[in-house]
Amino acid sequence: MCKFFYRLQFSGGNATRRDLAECVAGNIIDKCWRCKPDWDKNRQALAQCAAGFAKGTTGGSGGEVYIVTDPTDADAAAPKPGTLRAGVTQNKPIWVTFEKDMVITLTQELVITSDTTIDGRGAKVEITGAGLTLYNVKNVIIHGVNIHDIKESPGGMIKNSDGPPGLRQKTDGDGICVTGSSKIWIDHCSLSKGPDGLIDVTLKSTAVTISNCKFTNHHKLILLGANNAHEEDKGMQATVAFNLFGEGCDQRMPRCRFGLFQVVNNNYEGWGTYAIGGSAAPTILSQGNRFAAPADPIKKNVLVRADAPEEEWKKWNWRTEKDALLNGAVFVPSGVDPALTPEQKELLIVAEPGESVPQLTNAAGVLSCMPGQPC
């Protein structure tokens, strides 16, 4: 949160006001850019702020700025110039911004190409109707949009590149579906309400960070690895950091398979079934989270381990460090501290104590940013 302080100065009896604006950003990602009043003059500097396993994600850096002027999505196969779909399907680096506040009701899934940034700062942008698809791409940043009330989409001929449209199948209604992709950063988004997952990361995807997002009113939130048979996900590495899991969140915050996952400094204001779950022997580092258990006495367990007997899951490396366990929350660790490579250690976010999480996550979700002012 940005705070502004003012000092009155007197000269010859005439008072003048000087803005000594001091911006206070809660976490390391926000400290990288939010306190700069000229953020809108150098939007692409945001890419330098990626942290966790998606560190180094460039998005559309170096490319042209594309401004969405038209909120319609009437033709998914041949989108009009100025629409979001026309912007994110170009085969070159592109930095997408928005001319004004808008609600974009997608008629079909929105297929996003590599080297793309969707940057909603400075406008109130809502995406509804159908979800976002990242399929076999790299270097994508999704920042500052509200994705909600997603529905299944029927499929058909859909624009997915500079070339002709391609045939796409029916979707399950995910908010953001990441498949076979790497260097993906999702930051300061608000996500809620849909028939399937809010964010699914599957099938050899890796180098993913989900940060500073606000999740509400949903059953199954974040899926990191979709099936115990997908052994290609053994190389998945993902960071879940500084997110707020608020009202109406039931489970999968996240649910993990096979890979290496850092779940760090998130705020869990309760859950329905569980907070963090997994199967297929993932490594989960739970560090500096705030777990406030629900009132129901049979729902105090933070974790769910699935598809394995106790003698097996006891070997899984699910570790807890600096977590704050409130309202009777129970975290039962297993395994040992994993042996990480120097490269993996370098990409871990240094956890603050769980008691600090309310401050670290107090700006989670879409921000209200004004050009010329700290955000």
Residues marked as catalytic = 252
CB 136 within 8 A of CB 157: no
Q: Which two tokens stand for residue 316?
A: 């899984």
| Residue linked to tokens 């809010």 | 198
Residue 257's DSSP bridge partners are 279
Two structure tokens written together for 287: 């560090």
Amino acid at 302: V
Whose structure tokens read 């680096």? 93
Rounded CA-CA distance 245/344 in Å is 26
Q: How distant, in Å, are the alpha carbons of 78, 205, 363 from that of 200?
A: 27, 10, 23
Contact 183, 24 (CB under 8 A): no
CA end-to-end distance (rounded Å), the chain: 8
Q: Rounded CA gap, 106 and 156, in Å?
A: 14
Residue in 299, 285, 275 with CA at minimum distance from that of residue 333: 285
